[in-house]
C-alpha cells in the first residue's frame, strides 16, 4: 500500500471529517476508515464486504472489468501456459519466480512431505463409507494439528515454513484418500519419482491388482487445474482463513476452516453445479430449449459455468482451461458420455449466440474444469475437494502474509443492530 496526500471528506450529523486515502499499485483508491468510529461514533455498512478492503496484500490482483488475474504481477495465462503448479506455489509463497536450483530443492521438499502419518488411516475409518469427501477433508486437515505438533507455533517462522510445506504436500494425499475411502478401495501411497499432479492421479486411480501409468496429457491438464485455482484474492474461503488465523489459531485449523467455507455451492461447488446442469439438459437436441430458458428473465434457470461474478468481461483462466479440455476430450473421447456431448454442443451454440456475447456470458473456468474432471472419471463429489487441494497454496500464502503483518489484529466486524431495545424480564407465570 502506498500512502498519499489524498483525503476524503465525510460529513456526519453536520460534522466534517477528513479520512486518509491510500493509493494501491493497481486498482481503485481505498478510504481508510479505521479511526472513523473513534472520531465520529459511526460504523460503515457493507454486507458481504464487497466495497471494503480487509487487508493489504502483495499476492494476487484481479481486475474484473479487464478480465485480468495477476499472481505477484505475472498474468495467469502466462503462468498456466509456461509454468507448472509447484513453480506457481513457490511464486505465491515467496514473491519471486525461483531459479532452476531453488525450484528443484523446493520440489524435492514438497515431494518428500507427501506421505501422511500412518495413524491417520484410522482417522479415515471413523467416517461412514458414504461420507462426502469434503466432510472427510475438513476433519482430516483439522486433525493434522493432533499429529504434527512441531509445526503449530505460529510465532516461530521455522514452524510456519514447515506447516506451509506440509499442507501443500499432503493435501493431494488427503484428497485422494478421501476419494478412495468413499468408493471402498484401498489407499494408494504417494511415490517420490512422480510429479505433483501425476502423484495425485495415481493415488486416485491406481489399484493393487494392476500397474497404473499416468498419461502425460491428463497430468498436464490436472496441473493446469491446480494452477488456475491456486489463489483468487480475498474471496470467501481466503477471507475465512484470514479471519480464523487472526485469533492465533494453528494453521491446520485455519485451512480446515477455509475448506469448510469452500464447500458452499455458491463458492467451490460451481463446477459441480455445471455438470449437474449438463445432466439436467440430458441430450444435445434439448440445448435450444435451455438456451431459450436462460434468456427468459422470468425463468429461474441459469446457464451454470457461463459468466463470472468478478470478471465482467471474460475469465482469463478459461482460455487455457479450454485448451486442456480440448486435449483431454481428444484423448478420451466423448462418444460414450452424454454430458460431455452436451457440454461441447452447448459451448458451441452459446458462443455463436449474439445474446451471450452482448451479455459477456462466456464459458468460465468452472465450465471447462468440470468437463475435464468428468472426462477423467472423477465423480462430481470430488470436484470441490480438488478445488480445495488447488487453493491450499493460496490460503497458506495469505495466512503467512497475515501472520507477518504488523497491522494484524483479530477480526471483529460490526453490525447494524435492528433488534429490540432494552426491556425488562417478565416472570413466566405472568406471560
Which amino acids are annotated catalytic?
A: 308, 366
Rounded CA separation 22/404 (Å): 21
Cα–Cα separations (whole angstroms), residue 115 to 177, 188, 229, 235, 351: 11, 10, 23, 30, 44
Look at residue 386 and give its three-state secondary structure: helix
Long-range residue pairs from 123-127, CB within 8 A, at least 24 positions apart, any chain: 124/177, 124/178, 124/181, 124/187, 125/181, 127/181
Other beta carbons less than 10 A from residue 134's beta carbon: 23
Cα–Cα separations (whole angstroms), residue 139 to 37, 120, 153: 39, 11, 20
Asked if 160 and 93 count as a contact pair (C-beta separation under 8 A), the reply is no
Asked if 388 and 262 count as a contact pair (C-beta separation under 8 A), the reply is yes
Rounded CA separation 31/9 (Å): 10
Cα–Cα separations (whole angstroms), residue 255 to 135, 171, 234, 396: 14, 11, 14, 8
Radius of gyration of the chain (CA): 24
Cell of 171: 493435501
Rounded CA separation 321/316 (Å): 9
Look at residue 72 and give its three-state secondary structure: coil
Rounded CA separation 256/152 (Å): 14
Q: With 0-12 CB in 10 A as exposed, 13-18 as middle and 19+ as buried, what is 143? A: middle
Residues 6 or more apart whose CB falls under 8 angstroms from that of 410 comprise 246, 247, 248
- Fill in the DSSP letter of residue 283: S
Phi, psi dihedrals of residue 369, rounded to the nearest 5°: -65, -35
Q: Can you state the angle between helices 383-403 and 157-183, rounded to 10 degrees?
A: 170
Residues 6 or more apart whose CB falls under 8 angstroms from that of 155 comprise none
Amino acid at each position: 500500500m502506498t500512502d498519499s496526500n489524498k483525503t476524503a471528506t465525510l460529513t456526519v450529523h453536520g460534522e466534517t471529517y477528513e479520512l486518509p486515502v491510500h493509493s494501491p499499485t493497481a486498482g481503485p483508491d481505498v478510504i481508510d476508515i479505521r479511526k472513523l468510529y473513534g472520531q465520529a461514533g459511526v460504523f460503515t455498512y457493507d454486507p458481504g464486504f464487497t466495497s471494503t478492503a480487509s487487508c493489504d496484500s502483495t499476492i494476487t490482483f484481479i481486475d474484473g472489468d479487464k478480465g485480468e488475474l495477476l499472481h505477484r504481477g505475472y498474468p495467469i495465462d502466462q503462468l498456466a501456459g509456461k509454468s507448472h503448479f509447484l513453480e506457481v506455489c513457490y511464486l505465491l509463497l515467496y514473491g519471486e519466480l525461483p531459479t532452476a536450483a531453488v525450484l528443484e530443492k523446493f520440489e524435492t521438499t514438497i515431494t518428500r512431505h507427501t506421505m501422511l502419518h500412518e495413524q491417520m488411516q484410522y482417522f479415515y475409518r471413523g467416517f461412514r463409507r458414504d461420507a462426502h469427501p469434503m466432510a472427510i477433508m475438513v476433519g482430516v486437515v483439522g486433525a493434522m494439528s493432533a499429529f504434527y505438533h512441531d509445526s503449530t507455533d505460529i510465532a516461530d517462522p521455522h514452524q510456519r515454513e514447515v506447516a506451509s510445506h506440509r499442507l501443500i504436500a499432503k493435501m493431494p494425499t488427503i484428497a485422494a484418500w478421501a476419494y478412495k475411502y468413499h468408493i471402498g478401495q484401498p489407499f494408494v501411497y504417494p511415490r517420490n519419482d512422480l510429479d505433483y499432479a501425476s502423484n495425485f492421479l495415481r493415488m486416485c486411480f491406481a489399484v493393487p491388482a494392476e500397474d497404473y501409468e499416468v498419461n502425460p496429457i491428463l497430468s498436464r491438464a490436472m496441473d493446469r487445474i491446480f494452477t488456475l485455482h491456486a489463489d483468487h484474492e480475498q474471496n470467501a474461503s481466503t477471507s475465512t482463513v484470514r479471519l480464523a488465523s487472526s485469533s492465533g489459531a494453528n494453521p491446520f485449523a485455519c485451512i480446515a476452516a477455509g475448506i469448510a467455507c469452500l464447500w458452499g455451492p455458491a463458492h467451490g461447488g460451481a463446477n459441480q453445479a455445471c455438470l449437474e446442469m449438463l445432466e439436467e439438459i440430458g441430450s444435445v437436441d434439448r440445448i435450444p430449449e435451455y438456451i431459450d430458458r436462460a434468456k427468459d428473465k422470468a425463468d429461474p434457470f441459469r446457464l451454470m459455468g457461463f459468466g463470472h461474478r468478478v470478471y465482467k468481461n471474460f475469465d482469463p483462466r478459461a482460455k487455457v482451461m479450454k485448451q486442456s479440455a480440448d486435449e483431454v476430450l481428444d484423448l478420451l473421447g466423448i462418444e460414450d458420455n452424454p454430458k460431455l456431448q452436451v457440454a461441447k454442443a452447448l459451448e458451441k451454440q452459446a458462443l455463436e449466440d449474439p445474446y451471450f456475447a452482448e451479455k459477456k456470458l462466456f464459458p468460465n473456468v468452472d465450465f471447462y474444469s468440470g468437463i475435464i474432471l468428468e472426462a477423467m472419471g472423477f465423480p462430481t463429489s470430488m470436484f470441490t475437494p480438488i478445488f480445495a487441494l488447488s487453493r491450499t497454496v493460496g490460503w497458506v500464502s495469505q495466512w503467512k502474509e497475515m501472520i507477518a503483518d504488523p497491522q494484524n489484529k483479530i477480526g471483529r466486524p460490526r453490525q447494524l443492530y435492528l433488534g429490540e431495545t432494552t426491556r425488562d424480564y417478565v416472570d413466566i407465570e405472568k406471560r
